[in-house]
Amino acid sequence: MNIGIDKMDFYTPAQYLDLVDLAQARKTDPNKYLIGIGQRQMAIPSLDQDAVVLAANAAEKILSAADRQQIGLLIVATESGVDQSKAAALFVQQLLQLSPYLRAIELKEACYGGTAGLQLARDFVAQHPQQKALVLASDIARYGLQTSGEVTQGAGAVALLVSANPRILAIAPDSVYQSQNVNDFWRPNYSQEAMARGKFSEEVYLKMFQNLWTQAQAQKLWQPADLQALLCHLPFSKMGLKAVRSLQGQLASVDYERLMRRFQASVQYGQVIGNIYTGSLYLSLISLLDHDTSLQAGDQLACYSYGSGAVAELFTGTLVAGFQEQLHPHSHQKMLAQRQRLTIAEYEAEFQQQLVTDGSTQELTQSDPTAPHYLTKVEAHQRFYV
C-alpha cells in the first residue's frame, strides 16, 4: 500500500518586503542578499496572522467536506506556537470544522517539525488506511530589526493531506536520520526573536547532509542515478545550494547537472517568501512541481529535512500517476503577484507591533480580506479567531 501526500498547498501573508529596499536601508550591497544568500523578497505577517491563522488558511485550500470527516490525525508543526500548553492544532480543528473524533497535537523541533509530522502521519495512515492525516507546517521567522538574521525572515504555512493511495507523492517507508545536541539556533521562552550562530549552523546543516547521504548509500536505499531531484530545507536558497554542490565529484556529471537544474526550480517560491521554518522543505516541493513540467510519474525525489538543535532526515518519495492534476501553479502565482510591497517604514512599524500580554482586550482588523481566517482579538489572555 502506497502512503503519502494526497493534496498540498500553501498560504503566505499578503504583504512583503523587497530585499533591495532592505539592503539600501541597511547600507548594504544588494548583491549580498540577492546573490550572497540567494533571496529576493520576504513575507511580512500582520498582527492578526499568527501560526494558527497561517495554518488554517493553508488548509482551507485543499480540504473537501469528505476530507474533513476522514481526518483522524491533525498535526500542526511549528516553532511559532501561541501557547506553552494548548496545541495550535485545537484552534485549527475548530476553524476548519473538523470532526471532533481525531487526535490534535502540536510538534516542535525547529525546522524539522514538518517532517516529524509527515512521518508520524504516514505511520498513522499505515495503521488506519481508511483515515487521513492533516499536517500543517506553519511558522513566522523573526530575528529582529538590524540583526544579522533580519534578511532571512519570512512567514507562511504548507498544508499536507496524507492518505493511502496518494495522488501526488508516495513516501518511501525507509529513510536515514540523525540527532545531536548542538547550539546553532534557538529561541528561549522569554524571547520573541530567535538567536543563531549562522556560520556554525551552516556547517552543521552540511555535515549532517553528508553523513546521511553516505549512510543512505551504505544502506542502498537508492541509486543516485535514479534520483530526479534533490529537495532541501531552505532557510535561504544558498544554504540548500551548498548541499547540492557538495555532491559535485561524488556523482556522475549527468546526475549532478540534473539535480542542480531542478534545484533551481525548487527555490523559486522560497526566494520571494523567505524562511518559513517547518514548511520550507515542502514549499520547495511545491515550487519544484509548479515550475518543472518535465517531471513524470515514477520519478523519485530525495528530500533533506533539517532542524537546528539538531535533527536531520533524508527520505525519498515517488511521484504518482496524475500528480499534475493536483497542482495549482496559477493560483500560487496570482497570490504572490497580488501581495502589497511595504516600504521600510511600514515594515518596521509592522514588526514592532505587539499583542497585549497583561490580560486586557485588544481588537484586531483583518489584514488579508482574501483569506478566510484571522485573529480577531486577545482578551483575558485568550486568543479568538474566525
pLDDT at 370: 95
Distance of CA 366 to the CA centre of its chain: 23
Q: Is 260 exposed, middle or buried (0-12, 13-18, 19+ CB in 10 A)?
A: middle
Which entry of 106, 109, 150, 233 is annotated as an active-site residue? 233
Q: Which of 79, 109, 150, 313 is catalytic?
A: 79
User: What is residue 358's predicted lDDT score, i.e. its pLDDT?
Assistant: 97
363 is catalytic: no
- pLDDT at position 105 is 98
How far apart, in whole angstroms, are the C-alpha atoms of residue 138 and residue 279?
6
Radius of gyration of the chain (CA): 20
Q: Check residue 196 and give its pLDDT.
A: 87
Q: What is the helix, strand, coil percentage profile of the chain, to 5?
A: 35, 25, 40
How far is it, in rounded angstroms, from Cα 40 to Cα 320?
32
User: What is the Cα–Cα distance from 55 to 280, expressed in whole angstroms?
Assistant: 14
C-alpha cell at 250: 561524488
| Residue 23 burial (C-beta neighbours within 10 Å; 0-12, 13-18, 19+) | middle
Q: Does 233 qualify as catalytic in the annotation? A: yes
Residue of 300, 278, 276 whose CA lies nearest to 288: 300
Q: Which residue out of 111, 150, 291, 328 is catalytically annotated?
A: 111
Q: State residue 256's pLDDT score.
A: 97
Q: For this structure, is 350 an active site residue?
A: no
pLDDT for 195 equals 87
Q: What is the DSSP letter of 152?
A: G
Give the pLDDT confidence score for residue 192 in this predicted structure.
86
- Grid cell 550572497 in the structure block, residue: 36
The amino acid at 333: Q
Terminal alpha carbon distance of the chain:
38
Q: Do 175 and 296 contact (CB within 8 A), yes or no?
A: no
Reading the chain (386 residues) residue by residue, the pLDDT tens digits are 999 999 999 999 999 999 999 999 999 999 999 999 999 999 999 999 999 999 999 999 999 999 999 999 999 999 999 999 999 999 999 999 999 999 999 999 999 999 999 999 999 999 999 999 999 999 999 999 999 999 999 999 999 999 999 999 999 999 999 999 999 999 999 998 888 898 999 999 999 999 999 999 999 999 999 999 999 999 999 999 999 999 999 999 999 999 999 999 999 999 999 999 999 999 999 999 999 999 999 999 999 999 999 999 999 999 999 999 999 999 999 999 999 999 999 999 999 999 999 999 999 999 999 999 999 999 999 999 99
**Assigned C-alpha cell, 329:** 501553479
